[in-house]
Amino acid sequence: MVIEYKTRTQVVVEAIREKILKGEIKAGEPLRQAALADELKVSRIPIREALLQLEAEGLVEFEAHKGATATKLSAEQVTELFELRALLETELLRLAIPKLTDAELDQTELILQQMNDAYQQSATSGTWSELNSRFHLSLYRAANRPLTFEMVQNLNSNSDRYIRVHLMLAGGVTKAGPEHVQLLDLCRQRKVEQACVVLKQHILGAAHEINLLVQKLDADAAQ
């Protein structure tokens, strides 16, 4: 990971995020700013800024008289988020495919290459997750349904922490890569129904694996 082009806060965000997603910081565990500052060898200012960013991502919450704590991953939330994604994203894709230009599909293919490069270079889960979101959204924009598109963006943002868990702990990249290639190929061939089936399976398959992971993390925490 090249950190010289990142702010100190960005580096701290990534470090704390990975500790939470890997289970090194348990759900409900207080995030002591002084201890984190000592461990990461920074002042408290980037720690405080990082915790606020992680709160926006849903990984941290601030409680009265307790300060910042790591939030609990929820299997129920995974199911709802990803079922909504499958419903809305397949509809956007259905409307978008007939309108997608070759130039737009070429841009989507470039994102796929960036995703592959990020994986080969062992980039952080955040880099791959961001590219993953860009890939999907690039296929939906042509649908010209701005309200639905905005809802999907919000769902992707709320799903992000679960997607990162999938990437880091369940080999999500190696499974998603071929599915993305297949999806793009079907879009190029204008095979609308087949593309929608692949997209739905892609989203719900990830949800199933994430649910299993969340249940395992809960079981490990209870031991």
Sign of CA dihedral 22, 24, 26, 27: negative
Least confident of 1-5, 38-42, 145-149, 179-183: 1-5
Confidence of residue 184 (pLDDT cuts 50, 70, 90): very high
Mean pLDDT of 4-22: 80
- From residue 146, how far is each of 80, 140, 151 by CA, in Å? 22, 10, 9
Residues 82/207, Cβ–Cβ less than 8 Å: yes
Query: Going along the chain, which residue ranges are E strands?
Result: 60-63, 67-70
Nearest to 10 by CA among 43, 49, 37, 40: 49
Portion of the chain with pLDDT greater than 70, in percent? 89
Amino acid (one-letter) located at 173: V
Tens of pLDDT, residue by residue over 134-162, are 999 999 999 999 999 999 998 988 888 78
Portion of the chain with pLDDT greater than 90, in percent? 51
- From residue 29, how far is each of 17, 25, 187 by CA, in Å? 14, 6, 45
What is the average pLDDT value for the chain, to the nearest integer?
Answer: 86
Tens of pLDDT, residue by residue over 60-100, are 889 877 789 988 878 888 999 999 999 999 999 999 999 99
Amino acid (one-letter) located at 2: V
Q: Is the pLDDT of residue 2 over 50?
A: no
